[in-house]
Each structure stands twice: as C-alpha cells, then as structure tokens.
Structure 1
C-alpha cells in the first residue's frame, strides 16, 4: 500500500476531519475518503466507526493507527536523510504559529526566509494555540510560535519579543483623536473581549482589575481578526497588539490610542521539543526572527515595555 494512503489515514485521525486532512495533503475530501476506504478494503476490517459524530477509531483502527504513525515517521526521516546526503540544502522545516503571528509578524519574514533557502522544503502552519502545542509535541512541527508560551515536561520555551498593546477604537469614537488614554477611559465604552480560554484574556482581565477598571463586555471572540471586524462595525473598543492593527490604522478603518502608565505587552516566544536537537534550518529561522526584534520594536513603539504576567 502506498505510503501516501497511510499518511492521509493518520492525518484524518489526528485532525478528526476528512476535509482538513484533505487540505493538509492538497487533495479533495472525496479522495481522502477513498484512500481510507481502500485501506479498509485491503485489510478487510473497519478502521473508523462512521456511525458516530465525530467518527471514532475501532479497536482495529487504533492498532493500525499506532503502527502507521511509526511507519510514516520512519519514512519521512528516511527521505530527509537521503535528501541531506544528496544535497545539504535540500532540508525541511515546519513551523506552527498562532494565527495572529502568522498573519502579521511573519508576512514579510517568512517569504524572506524561503527566498534564502530555495532548495529547502518549508511549511508554515497557522493554528489555534492548543493546536500549536500539539503539533510541536507530536513532532509534526519543530518550532511553535506562541503568545504567552508555556513550558512542560516535553516542551521547552524561548522568549522572543514583548509586543506592545494599544486601545483600538472605531474611527468615530470620542477617544479616537487622542494619542494616549487611561484605561479608566474605556470603562464607559462597550468592550470586545477575547474568549476566556485564551491567556491574553486572562492577562487583560488582571490588568483591568489591578487598575480598578470595570468594562461592559458585549462580545467575545477567540481570534484577533474577528475582534477587529467587530470594532470596525462600531460594536465597541478593545485592547490589541499594535502590530496586528497597523494596516487598518493606515487605511483609517480603525483608530488607536496608547495606554498611559505601565505599558501592556503580549509576550511572544518559541516552543520546541526538549528531547530533540535543533536543526540547522530551525536555527537559521530563529536567528532571523531575533535579528528583526529591533525593527519590530522600532516600528510599533519607542517606549520601554513590561510584560503582563501569564
């Protein structure tokens, strides 16, 4: 059986979705379904219980999945070894990043990195925070770019950049014309918050509580892009990383004001497997990011920064 079928099967199980596994492998959903069905017909057993939503692995499927994971990993390692022997620059690197970092921090740096390594196989995977941890822990990504990164028994952390945050407002807000505001100024404004499961929400809540500011939360979202859209529609104000709103500020669809007093920041960093040495390509990518910290700091703020405690 072709190794591609085994990889697609593993991806279907990992993603709990035929459509997402198909997208990961650049095939149609029907093709992914047929590939799994071919495996079942070859084995004469059901690997997935499709009567449940979401589907579940059968006992046979669990056994097959564990074995396939090892086979696919060994095959990918073998390919990497052969490529390295044939051409030292024919390497691969997968970087998982939370959506906001992938969209706003790497939009210039990733093309620069790929241009510098034309023979390498490079992949950037925008994911939700927990998915980034899972991707790195499972070995599918060597590096993960996170906000408020947390270490564990298997994952190490390196801090990268403390990103300034600002008050983001509709252009017609009474506060929009001010360069700097107190956090207490937004107490009378409808507030668009992040989902309670996100570390950024907890940090913002603690800072507001520290300054005795109570806000009226009107909407909650799990990503920055939806928060920005809600503000553009005039639904309220929020606190966001400054770098993520530069385009909208330039276009005039959003306004911003800096926060007086101790600056608010969102800590960004890398997560990685403790038990695996860093590849040369990953080292080059980390070096590129660190080289650009000063440019990012200069672009968005000249003020000293102090991290919110996670």
Structure 2
C-alpha cells in the first residue's frame, strides 16, 4: 500500500495522496491481459507494494502546476511499470528467491516467464507513453537505454576504472535516471517552463543517487529490517556497496581496517561469525561515515536544484525530502 510520508507539506498532502491512489488504480488496470497467466505474474509485484518513490516524485513535480490539475497520473504509471519491469529482469539475473517479502516471480514461476512478463510491462509502459505524446515516448526510450547501460556496466565491473566512480555512475544509470525522468515528466505535466523542468530533472538525479545510497547504508547501519531486508544482506552476498568500496580504498593501516579489508576481499560472507565480525567493523569504520557524508552531499545538491523552483508548499516538500534522505541513515 502506498503511504504518503510525513515529509510532505500539509498543503499538498491530500492532493499527493489522491494522486498516488489513482496511480495504484492505473497500475492494476495496466497489467491486465487477456492471457490469465500474464495477468497473474504481471500483478505479482504490483500487489506486493513497494515505496512507489517514482510515482511520488511525479506527484510532487505535478504540484507545481495549477491547483486541482489532474495530469501526470499516466506519466507516473509509465515510470512505475518501467521500474517493475527492471525488477523482474534483475531477479532473474541475480537468481533472487525473494522480492518485497514474497517469492520472486522467477522462483515462483520460471526465469523465462519472469523475463517475458518484464518485457510485457515495458510494452505496456510504452503503449501508455504513446498516448502522452512524442516527447514522453522519447524520454522513456532514452531512460531505458540508460538503464541498460547501467546494468551492463554493473555486470562487467569497473574494468580498470576507479571502483567508486564506477559504482556511482552505475547508480545514476540504474536508479537515478528513472527518478530524474519521473521529475521531468511531472514538470512537463504541470506545464512548467523549460528552466524549471531542467531543475526538476537535475533534482531527480541527485535525490535518486541519495535514495539508492541511503538504502545501501541502511543495509549496514540499521539494527532492524528498516531497509526492507535483513541487515547486512548485501555484505553477505558480496555486493560492493559504497561503504565497502570506501573501506577497501582506505589508506588506514590499523588492525581493524586491515582485518576488515581481509574479510571484504574473501568473497560473500556466508559464515555467520565472519559476517557478524565484518558488519561490526564496517559499522565502526570511517568508511561508513564517509559514505554518509557522500549521501549528504547528493541531498544538498538536490536541495540546491529545488531552490530554483517557485517558493511554496511543493518546494518545501522537496527540500524536506532532501533532509529526510540525508538523515535516514543516522
């Protein structure tokens, strides 16, 4: 279920909540197919819920338009369908058994069915975008190309490039590009001038990177399942998140730093004792603080772009979102 977060200004909260409710209806309608199996598998992740962050960004951008404007719902559906399609494909590539607390589509059905239904969601998104005009189609195609580029870059690795720079570029291409396009489409639906649409898109890129990085930090820093998964999951699976990359690049020659590097370079930490040791050392390391500072930097950059937008409740909400994103990791 979509929940309007507390950071949304009271003056626009009701409008945003209604917008997101309409998007839920649109998503459920979009995944219906004459073929029952397609409908069942396509609805799997829609019904599982999620943050709906991309529709939220569209909704917030739309608030800069005329009061009561109902445009932007289809744009939000296009973005969320595109996002969901990538999750079906990612789970196949990662051989993931779970997604959003339920069995992943690939484990519940098969890899082939999950891939085909991901393709179906992309086709449905394209069909809806076609009804929004040529520019919306062009933006969705550009975003898909960037998503593929990011996925490919993640798959092949840095290949001699700086691992930290490579990691941040992958996040921009795989995650932030959808959020940036969401902001742009919302600004277009609101009828904003070109300079303000550009500011929204730049905001979306920066807040999108902060969003993904903060999720990765929660996986390390949270004592609960605040991140939506068991803390330390990325560490256990050998996923190189930003704190890990900072720890590996650190010049600290202390015993704790060296031991952490030894653990992090030993592969996936499937042994419970070694995993707990690495998680403790990483939580106490300067690398985690450095990663938090990086999140704060992207959040502040997003705030700077938001300040180019008209003053009022929508801008206050974007600025509060920046603060929320910077502080959610502690």
Question: Structure 1-normalised TM-score?
Answer: 0.31
> TM-score if structure 2 supplies the norm length?
0.29
Quick check: which has more Rg, 1 or 2?
A: 1
More strand by share: 1
